[in-house]
């Protein structure tokens, strides 16, 4: 297996995360805007961003609001990750783990929503329980061992677990858990988050215009607890395709974009992308084990041998490295040395690219002469290109694939819907939910997540896996967790519900008159990202 070596700074990050989850600690009060973002004080009248259409900022229904970066500027989390990788206060001015199963968050004094109303523990409790409820697109963030989220007093929130959960400390840094105003939700239940209504948050910017056909306008929040922000207005334009977005960047109509088809975007936009090493987001092939022929383990193993990762990465446009385990290898480095990792993964089956081995494995299945399948593909050029190459690779062993291209929101609805057979298989980005090495298991695997509102696209699990997932979160000793995840990866290697393909680099296009020095692949966990934008003097 190819391991990705983290930078010294990332190693420090990983060790700090481990210490944060393994010890009873108190985080000191943060007096101002955290070093996680560190924006310039030079005033920027208007900053222009482009993206695909964002249908809603209601994270209960869709991930697109934070996936494309808008939501982070309006809704803020309790804590964030600093550039150095430490968990730092944000809306929670301080927090402590008062026991192995209890986290207490003390809210920042003076924090207000953009309408001037004070932030209260009730708003936090309501927001987190809103995301937690069954059927929510973000319920995967909340472990089954979580017992309660309660307001101790107007400025204190307590989160209680039935058993220790080593991954929880970093989960509240996620953009998908941004806090919103309960009162505003109650007044706009039917249209909450949608264009024309939007959301009310505590972020540096408030949404003042939201049109599904054109874009949005964000204006500096005069009540922002961090003080005056340098960017006074953000103009957000929606584009029907990434090509039109790239042309807009080239002509100077927008200043920033998060491309998905990196190679094509860079060429069309005439720019060099800012990149950061991929450290948690994987592109992975999922195979729905509830649907034939994916229900046959020999078919899945055959596909694992048929996948040529280098060819798929080339189709993706580069900006990625091959990977063969569902846990990104770099995240395992926080649990042990490379030699310890190698020892823990010694029994994990690997599948080298070999058409001959793939055909031999297929002969052991109920489909020795091949089968017909449907591959869903997110409507992103890089993913579609990769899926088309996979179709050719599968054809080489007798599996004939039909490609079904889908936009993000309909695809999310299918994967997380009650019909667990709706998506047969697809290549899609997986991971990215937590810097904790067990984060992927909190939503992509396990019986709990093979249900409505959850993200186990393979719908595969067994009693052993369910038990190991629970043990992985309950254990706080790094070496113990490493051994547990070695056993989990062995189960995955034997049963192959997913075929990991590539670790994706973090990328962003930034106009030459601006810089973003804090950008890395964890940018969504660094707080309101636009606070890090600086004008070039």
Cα 290 vs. chain centroid, distance in angstroms? 25
Could you give the C-alpha distances from 324 to 80, 307, 321, 369, in angstroms and in order?
A: 29, 11, 10, 27
Q: Is the pLDDT of residue 430 over 50?
A: yes
Task: Supply 76's token pair.
Answer: 């803020």
Span of 111-120, 324-333, 465-474 with lowest mean pLDDT: 324-333
Q: Is the pLDDT of residue 444 over 90?
A: no
pLDDT 10s digits, 382-423: 899 999 999 999 999 999 999 999 988 899 899 989 999 999
Mutual angle of helices 381-395 and 309-316, in 10-degree steps: 150
Angle value at C-alpha 364, between 363 and 368, nearest 5 degrees: 35
Paired sense of beta strands 371-378 and 399-406, if any: parallel
pLDDT 10s digits, 140-149: 788 888 999 9
Higher pLDDT, 317 or 269: 269
Please give the DSSP secondary-structure letter assigned to residue 27. Answer: P
Q: Is the pLDDT of residue 28 over 50?
A: no
Average pLDDT over residues 296-318: 96
pLDDT 10s digits, 271-281: 999 998 876 67
Average pLDDT over residues 181-209: 96
| Spatial distance between the Cα atoms of 457 and 421, rounded to a whole number of angstroms | 9
> pTM of the predicted model, to two decimals?
0.74
Q: Given this model, what pLDDT does residue 428 score?
A: 85
Q: Is the pLDDT of residue 39 over 70?
A: no
Q: Is the pLDDT of residue 166 over 80?
A: no
Q: What is the mean pLDDT of the chain?
A: 88
Q: Given this model, what pLDDT does residue 22 score?
A: 36
3 state DSSP class of 272: coil
Average pLDDT over residues 237-252: 96
Task: Supply 288's token pair.
Answer: 């729905």
Examine residue 11 and say whether the peptide bond preceding it is cis (omega within 30 degrees of 0). Answer: no
pLDDT 10s digits, 368-392: 999 999 999 988 888 999 999 999 9
Residues 6 or more apart whose Cβ sits within 8 Å of residue 249? 50, 257, 265, 269, 271, 509, 511
3 state DSSP class of 15: helix
pLDDT 10s digits, 60-101: 887 777 778 999 999 999 999 776 667 899 999 999 988 889
Q: Given this model, what pLDDT does residue 431 score?
A: 62
Longest dimension (CA), the chain: 68
pLDDT 10s digits, 456-481: 999 999 999 999 988 988 887 889 99
Q: Is the pLDDT of residue 33 over 70?
A: no
| Spatial distance between the Cα atoms of 299 and 425, rounded to a whole number of angstroms | 13
Q: What pLDDT band is residue 510 in, cutting at 50, 70 and 90?
A: very high
């Amino acid at each position: 297996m190819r391991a990705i070596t983290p930078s010294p700074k990332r190693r420090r990050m990983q060790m700090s995360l481990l210490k944060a989850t393994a010890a009873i600690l108190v985080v000191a009060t943060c007096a101002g805007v955290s070093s996680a973002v560190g924006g310039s004080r030079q005033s920027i009248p208007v900053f222009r961003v482009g993206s695909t259409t964002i249908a809603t900022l209601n994270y209960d229904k869709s991930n697109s609001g934070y996936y494309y970066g808008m939501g982070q500027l309006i809704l803020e989390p309790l804590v964030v990750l600093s550039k150095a990788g430490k968990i730092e206060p944000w809306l929670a001015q301080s927090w402590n783990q008062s026991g192995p199963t209890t986290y207490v968050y003390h809210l920042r004094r003076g924090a207000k929503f953009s309408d001037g109303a004070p932030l209260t523990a009730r708003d936090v409790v309501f927001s987190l329980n809103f995301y937690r409820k069954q059927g929510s697109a973000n319920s995967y963030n909340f472990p089954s061992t979580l017992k309660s989220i309660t307001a101790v007093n107007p400025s204190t929130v307590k989160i209680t677990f039935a058993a220790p959960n080593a991954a929880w400390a970093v989960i509240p840094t996620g953009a998908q858990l941004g806090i919103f105003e309960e009162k505003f939700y109650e007044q706009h239940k039917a249209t909450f988050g949608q264009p024309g209504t939007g959301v009310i948050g505590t972020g540096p910017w408030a949404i003042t215009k939201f049109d599904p056909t054109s874009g949005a306008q964000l204006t500096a929040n005069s009540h922002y607890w961090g003080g005056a922000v340098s960017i006074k207005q953000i103009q957000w334009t929606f584009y029907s395709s990434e090509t039109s977005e790239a042309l807009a960047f080239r002509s100077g109509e927008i200043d920033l974009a998060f491309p998905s088809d990196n190679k094509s975007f860079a060429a069309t936009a005439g720019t060099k992308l800012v990149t950061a090493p991929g450290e948690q987001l994987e592109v992975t092939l999922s195979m729905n084990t509830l649907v034939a022929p994916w229900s046959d383990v020999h078919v899945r193993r055959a596909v694992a041998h048929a996948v040529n990762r280098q060819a798929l990465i080339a189709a993706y446009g580069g900006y990625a490295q091959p990977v063969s385990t569902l846990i990104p290898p770099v995240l395992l480095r926080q649990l042990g040395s490379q030699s310890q990792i190698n020892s823990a993964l010694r029994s994990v089956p690997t599948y080298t690219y070999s058409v001959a081995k793939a055909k031999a494995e297929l002969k052991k299945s109920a489909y020795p002469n091949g089968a017909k399948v449907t591959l869903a593909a997110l409507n992103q050029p890089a993913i579609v290109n990769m899926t088309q190459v996979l179709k050719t690779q599968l054809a080489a062993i007798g599996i004939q694939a039909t490609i079904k291209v889908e936009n993000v929101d309909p695809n999310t609805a299918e994967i997380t819907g009650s019909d667990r057979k709706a998506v047969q298989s697809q290549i899609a980005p997986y991971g990215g939910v937590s810097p904790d090495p067990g984060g992927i298991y909190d939503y992509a695997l396990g019986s709990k997540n093979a249900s409505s509102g959850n993200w186990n696209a393979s719908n595969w699990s067994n009693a052993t896996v369910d038990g190991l997932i629970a043990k992985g979160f309950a254990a706080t000793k790094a070496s113990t967790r490493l051994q547990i995840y070695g056993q989990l990866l062995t189960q995955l290697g034997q049963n192959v519900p997913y075929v990991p393909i590539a670790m994706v680099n973090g990328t962003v296009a930034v106009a030459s008159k601006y810089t973003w020095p804090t950008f890395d692949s964890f940018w969504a966990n660094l707080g309101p990202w636009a606070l890090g934008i600086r004008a070039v003097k």
